[in-house]
Structure 1
């Protein structure tokens, strides 16, 4: 027996980055996993289901198909999201709507569709992918930070709403993770190596977080061993949120 034997999990944004690492971690611990993604190309036994979290009909159809393939849903990982750069001046209204629609309403749509299945589970858990940007002021991330601040508050409200239904809700707050999205940002920089070094240096560990490290935290919050944990966030940020180191000599 392994920790997730018999557990059925749905991971949004599950075909790349943190989502794929999470799907593989859950699978390796015994879960059956469906990956919802715009491009759901994953290797069996992972189950790929196309979903656009910005479209309610697409989400409802994808969650239904995932539940049918898995025989129910015990764990929902709301991971799908997009990034944004700039100060409060730099993004127009349409970009604000687009990012909030995916990063916040995407979680609302997916959770809403999954709740009837989660209510039937004896091990129901929701884990939202939030960010260090929800708790620390980062430069040139106004829109992204606003969306993740909303995710943190949404996590707490959902936890309060559903705790008496036996559904736990938590979130992880990663620091800068070495994902394809970060890779694209680095590629677009004037000096990619200098930018990578700067991103690594702002985390006390001196390196970027790996997707697998975030996945391990998600798996902990989703699993039976954290049965008394709800309404909290777990920082996986190399100490960025809490440590204040002296400058190197």
Structure 2
């Protein structure tokens, strides 16, 4: 590590002011940032810890939506969203290991937008709204590629609002070492149609599989996606699987998710 200043604001306003200073960077649960600092891949002069901001924590349900504070831990989501949105809670309880779930936050995960992170699939499939200290951003507009989002410099995710679907499920193949999904699919059925979001597969990060959405909106059953194939172009290829293998798994995971949701 190296020398830096650590600031612990207790309000969003104070955090925004601290982040406006040169060399400042937000610190959520630190599950990605701290290893990055240790490797000297980033060297901010000041870390603004968001962990002490109570207004950014908690889970509540109102008006057919689950509202989750940006600073809420994965473990809290798994526990407190279980009755209102079981698929979302199930996703949260399978993130990483107990250490990660009790340190990492939903806002930190969405702000980082790792191409193999779990929450981006839930947000995109649910048609969630990412609320910041400045505005509200629809999930369809928020995710913009690998580690890229619509967030501006100094913008903080204060809340994530998830519409509750009629049925949903998150299915993933977990990479044993990292516990990130090798490929995962979140399927959510609403009155006006089905949304299917895929993570862990594409080099550009989370995406919607629109072909499957059209088929499932007509018939919400695993057989509806039989014969459909995701395009391997742009899929991740590494020691764990080829682009063609990941494209195949997209179809497999989608069928499993639909069967479990149905």
Name the structure where strand makes up a greater proportion of residues. 2
State the TM-score, normalized to the length of structure 2.
0.28
Structure richer in helix, relative to its length: 1
Higher relative contact order (CA 8 A, sep 6+): 1
Structure-1-length-normalised TM-score: 0.29
